[in-house]
Structure 1
Amino acid sequence: MKIVVIQGPNLNMLGVREQNIYGPMKLEDIHAQMKAFAEQNKLEIEFFQSNLEGEIVDRIQECIGDADGIIINPAAYTHTSIAIRDALAAVKIPTIEVHLSNIHAREEFRHNSLTAPVCAGQIVGMGPFGYHLAMVGMTQILNEVAAMKQAQQQAQKAQQK
């Protein structure tokens, strides 16, 4: 099973920008922790970061047939990008949205997520640990999807007999 982690604008600046909001951990450190979790759970994981909306849309679309799950932090695009929202809806791949800060406790313009309604879930305000929670959640979702497919296959075989 493969998970693609998509990081939006300015997340490449973690550890440098607004540490009082986002903390001191760098994106590479978060990814290293996620990779360790993936290895322990026999998952394939791939990381992608872009400051450009179109590149994020392209990467989401490239997940069709390539990824079983998406973990995304659309960053500022969370509140503005209908294109990213539509791409997530179109690919029909289980997706979990993550935000380091609690977007609901910040400026009012950050309270609304355009992407959350097309995601399986949203994790906010847990700092870097939110990505670990997303990995746990995605592992559960993917295991449930696999179990459902297996049950459907068994039911089809039983009907054919």
Structure 2
Amino acid sequence: MPQTPVIHVLNGPNLNLLGTREPEIYGHDTLADVQALCERTADQDGGATVVFRQSNHEGKLIDWIHQARTEASALVINPAGYGHTSVALLDALKALTIPIVECHLSNPAARERFRHRSYVSPVARGVIAGFGPQSYELAVKAALTLVRVADKERGTA
């Protein structure tokens, strides 16, 4: 594990349209705004590095999850629509031994019924949803806390 925590933040399909797509649900902040918030939070809350990525392609997200196995201290993931459909994402996430935090801008449980089931939740240490961009801030803080706890348990803190 790296000396300085590295948090991978992965974003699924359509999140590149933040700020313009359904702002009544997702708000007016752009994905670049969310990235800046994650980087600022990680820096202020422990000098961590954020690797922030977005793809509309399931296979690309899976490749990045595989990469996180050897490069990241923790993973924050907003799987977007793939969270409700992708067994392949679930299988990739099962290969990780680092903490996983699931993150959503909106509250899927308060939306359409098909959004109530997540294939990511069973392997995530926790789920943060419904707080807009602050969901990411909270998720990064939670990931860093989980990394610190793991480091203390291993005696590497």
1:12-45 per-position Cα deviation (integer Å, ceiling 9, x unaligned): 0000100000000001001101111122221011
1:46 to 36, 51, 76: 51
The answer as to 2:79 corresponding to 1:74 is yes
Query: What is the correspondence of 1:23-62 to structure 2 with a 5 Å cutoff?
Result: 23-40=27-44, 41-62=46-67
* Per-residue deviation, 1:118: 0.4
- 2:136 equivalent among 128, 131, 139: 131
2:15 pairs with 1:11: yes
Q: Alignment partner of 1:65: what SS?
A: helix
The separation in 1 between residues aligned to 2:53 and 2:127, in whole angstroms, is: 19
TM-score of the aligned structures, taking structure 1 as reference length:
0.92
Query: What is the count of residue pairs matched by the alignment?
Result: 152
Q: Is the 8 A contact 2:42 2:141 kept in 1?
A: no
Structure 2 contact 104–129 (Cα < 8 Å) conserved: yes
Q: Following TM superposition, where does structure 1 have runs of at least 4 consecutive aligned residues deviating by more than 3 angstroms? A: none
- Matched to 1:18, the amino acid is E
Instruction: Identify the structure with bigger relative contact order (alpha carbons < 8 Å, sequence gap 6+).
Output: 2
Give the CA deviation at 1:92.
2.0
- Which amino acid letter does the alignment assign opposite residue 110 of structure 1? R
Counterpart CA distance in 2 for 1:98 and 1:66 is: 20
**2:72, 2:144 → 1: CA distance?**
13
**Structure 1: unaligned runs, 5 residues or longer:** 152-161
Alpha-carbon RMSD: 1.2
- Give TM-score, length-normalised by structure 2: 0.94
Which of 80, 87, 97 is the equivalent residue of 2:92? 87
- Aligned amino acid, residue 99 of structure 2: P
**SS of residue paired to 2:70:** coil
Residue 154 (structure 1) aligns with: none
- Rounded to whole Å, the distance in 1 between the matches of 2:43 and 2:110 is 34
Give the secondary structure class of the aligned counterpart of 1:91: coil
Identity of aligned residues (%): 43
